[in-house]
């Protein structure tokens, strides 16, 4: 797996973790006052394979100044956007834009300017996700940025301005430096509304901009992410003229195995859904769907037509 080569400030290494409060204060002071020297990490040759992110991988102490666990399925830093007025199919494919795990593996959605159009059968394929591995210095630099200039070290749990119903929410999650929290920011933008939170919103914007364009427009070497599990979501729909729905594709998986979640409006699990293995998804015989897909018309055993949505699952995500 590729290791991104990117400029990094010098980061001190220590054998044991620094107490969380000391780390955060030090980071905030450093963000304002301390210059940093740049150096580059050496790149390694990329590989098309994706490493196992098995939950069985053990967690252990890190050697970095900012403590984080090192398990392959232990989430350290994430950004996700969702909400607003969008079709249900889009809600069902909502996924984190960037995730960093304790072993240095990152999985992210590349920034795109044009969303792929549906094909003649109405199937819209998602842009394939990318992955790379950071070394400990790179992890430390990213956490230092997130906690300091990125605002998470001093953030409260939520920033909601004006109740903008049709604006998406941005959710940052961090488990490092003694912090275990999620920060919800409504209507995050480059030009924040005036008020007491304007400055920290600018910090959140800096962090979001970095994480949502992690490979800097594809200029940093990364590998294709090959998901081993997908969430399959069924959304009842009307039959479309000119589109013949597929017959039920899984003889050994009855429709009843797609279970509805709590009816609390939290798509996609409100809809019938099931975790599908890579082999079960391969039965559909659709190429290029590692980034997920929506609009796959299938006919259930109950005679109803459903739009099947596929969303890749990450190492820490339950079914």
In the prediction, which pLDDT does 134 show? 97
Say which range, 35-44, 118-127, 285-294, has the weakest mean pLDDT.
35-44
Among 85-94, 100-109, 171-180, 205-214, the least confident range = 85-94
For 202-250, how does the pLDDT look when each residue is reduced to its tens digit (9 = 90+)?
Answer: 999 999 999 999 999 999 999 999 999 999 999 998 877 778 999 999 9
pLDDT value of residue 266: 59
Question: What pLDDT score was predicted for residue 160?
Answer: 87
| Separation of alpha carbons 151 and 199, rounded Å | 9
Whether the pTM exceeds 0.75: the reply is: yes
Inter-residue contact 310 to 232 (CB < 8 Å): yes
Any bridge partners for residue 75, and if so which? 101
Q: In angstroms, rounded to a whole number, what is the distance separating the alpha carbons of residues 44 and 114?
A: 30
DSSP 101-169: ETTSEEEEPPP-SSPPPP-TTS-EEPPPPEEEE--HHHHHHHHHHHHTTTSGGG--SEE--TT-TTSPE
Give the tokens for residue 159: 């920033």
- Give the model's pLDDT for residue 25: 36
Return the pLDDT at 56. 33
CA dist 20 and 174 (Å) reads 13
Beta strand segments in the chain, E: 7-9, 38-40, 75-82, 98-101, 105-108, 124-125, 130-133, 158-159, 169-176, 179-186, 223-224, 229-236, 273-277, 293-299, 305-312
Mean pLDDT taken over the chain: 81
Query: What's the pLDDT tens digit per position in 123-158?
Result: 999 999 999 999 999 999 999 999 999 999 999 999
**Domain ranges in the chain?**
7-211, 226-312
Q: Return the SS3 of 22.
A: helix
Instruction: Tell me: pLDDT of 8 over 80.
Output: no
Who's near 127: CB < 8 A, 6+ residues apart?
Answer: 109, 110, 112, 116, 291
Segment 25-69, tens digit of pLDDT: 333 333 333 333 333 333 333 333 333 333 333 444 555 799 999
Contacts of 190 (CB under 8 A, 6+ apart): 205
pLDDT beyond 50 at 22: no
């Amino acid at each position: 797996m590729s290791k991104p080569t990117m400029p990094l400030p010098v980061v001190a290494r220590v054998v044991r973790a620094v107490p969380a409060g000391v780390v955060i204060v030090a980071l905030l002071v450093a963000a304002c006052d301390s210059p940093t020297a740049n150096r580059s990490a050496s790149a390694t040759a990329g590989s098309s394979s994706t490493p196992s992110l098995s939950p069985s991988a053990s967690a252990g102490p890190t050697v970095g100044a900012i403590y984080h666990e090192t398990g392959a399925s232990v989430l350290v830093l994430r950004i996700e956007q969702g909400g607003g007025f969008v079709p249900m199919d889009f809600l069902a494919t909502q996924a984190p834009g960037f995730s960093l795990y304790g072993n240095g593996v990152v999985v992210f959605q590349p920034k795109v300017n044009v969303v792929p159009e549906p094909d003649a059968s109405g199937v819209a394929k998602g842009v394939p996700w990318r992955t790379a591995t950071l070394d400990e210095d790179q992890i430390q630099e990213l956490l230092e940025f997130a906690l300091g200039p990125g605002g998470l070290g001093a953030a409260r749990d939520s920033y909601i301005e004006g109740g903008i119903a049709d604006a998406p929410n941005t959710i940052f999650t961090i488990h490092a430096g003694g912090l275990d929290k999620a920060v919800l920011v409504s209507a995050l933008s480059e030009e924040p509304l005036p008020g007491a939170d304007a400055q920290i919103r600018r910090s959140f914007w800096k962090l979001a901009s970095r994480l949502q364009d992690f490979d800097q427009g594809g200029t940093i070497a990364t590998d294709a992410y090959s998901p081993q599990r997908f969430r399959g979501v069924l959304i009842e729909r009307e039959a479309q003229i000119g589109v013949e729905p597929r017959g039920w594709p899984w003889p050994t998986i009855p429709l009843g195995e797609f279970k509805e979640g709590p009816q609390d409006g939290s798509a996609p699990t409100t809809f019938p859904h099931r975790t599908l293995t890579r082999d079960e998804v391969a039965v559909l015989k659709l190429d290029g769907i590692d980034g997920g897909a929506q609009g796959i018309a299938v006919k259930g055993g109950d005679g109803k037509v459903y739009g099947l949505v596929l969303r890749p699952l990450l190492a820490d995500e339950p079914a």
